[in-house]
Amino acid sequence: MAKNMAENKTLHYALRVLQLIFAIIVMGTDGYAIHVFRGHTVYEHFDYGNFYDYYGVPNAWGFLMFCAAWTVLIVIFHLIAGIRFADRALVGYIRVAVEAVAVLSWLAGFISVAVQISTDTCSAGKSSCGPLKAATVFGAFEWLLFMVTAALTVMLVFDSSRKPRTSTRPGAAV
């Protein structure tokens, strides 16, 4: 049954479209949270001197945006690689590596943003918290989608690499 799921083109395209839709949602919600968040300057007083420190948008928010943009490129790569170079072994291994990087990126991205939701950066009085929570939830769903597609890609690539290849030339000895 798992082999049939891995070879099902309709399921593959449906999962990729869902990944693309969720990436667009994460881009929109995270981008809005970044836009609404206003960096602020804090006057720091120390025994050795005083200075103004600027607190900008947290890096985790930008990393989640990177994960969403990276997903768009991954979906395009998988659609092109699945159509044009489906029988190449090296492209199959590259597809597995890209899936693994995407899984780890989304895991790190949504967890790092989720950790910051409960801190001072996103307190109840700030308007960037709602969209940030939505971006975190959709980031978690994106990670789950990539877990599914990574498993299907691994099954497809490593199962197809064990099959003997047949020649497509007419008259070739089999």
Tell me, what's the pLDDT at 167?
Answer: 47
Instruction: Kindly state whether residue 165 falls inside one of the protein's structural domains.
Output: no
Cα distances from 118 to residues 12, 17, 108, 113, 135, in angstroms, run: 36, 32, 17, 10, 15
Instruction: Kindly state whether residue 38 falls inside one of the protein's structural domains.
Output: yes
Q: Structural domain tally of the chain?
A: 1
Parent domain of 127: 2-160
Instruction: Kindly state whether residue 171 falls inside one of the protein's structural domains.
Output: no
Tell me, what's the pLDDT at 53?
Answer: 77
Instruction: Kindly state whether residue 68 falls inside one of the protein's structural domains.
Output: yes
Instruction: Kindly state whether residue 168 falls inside one of the protein's structural domains.
Output: no
Angle between helices 59-84 and 89-117 (to 10 degrees): 160
Instruction: Kindly state whether residue 137 falls inside one of the protein's structural domains.
Output: yes
Instruction: Kindly state whether residue 74 falls inside one of the protein's structural domains.
Output: yes
3-state SS, 103-154, equals: HHHHHHHHHHHHHHHCCHHHCCCCCCHHHHHHHHHHHHHHHHHHHHHHHHHH
- Which CATH number belongs to the domain containing residue 33 in this structure? 1.20.120
Give the pLDDT of the chain (174 residues) as one tens digit per residue.
Answer: 555 665 778 888 899 999 999 999 999 999 998 888 877 677 787 888 888 777 778 889 999 999 999 999 999 888 887 666 656 677 778 889 999 999 999 999 999 999 988 776 675 556 778 889 999 999 999 999 999 999 988 888 887 545 555 545 565 555
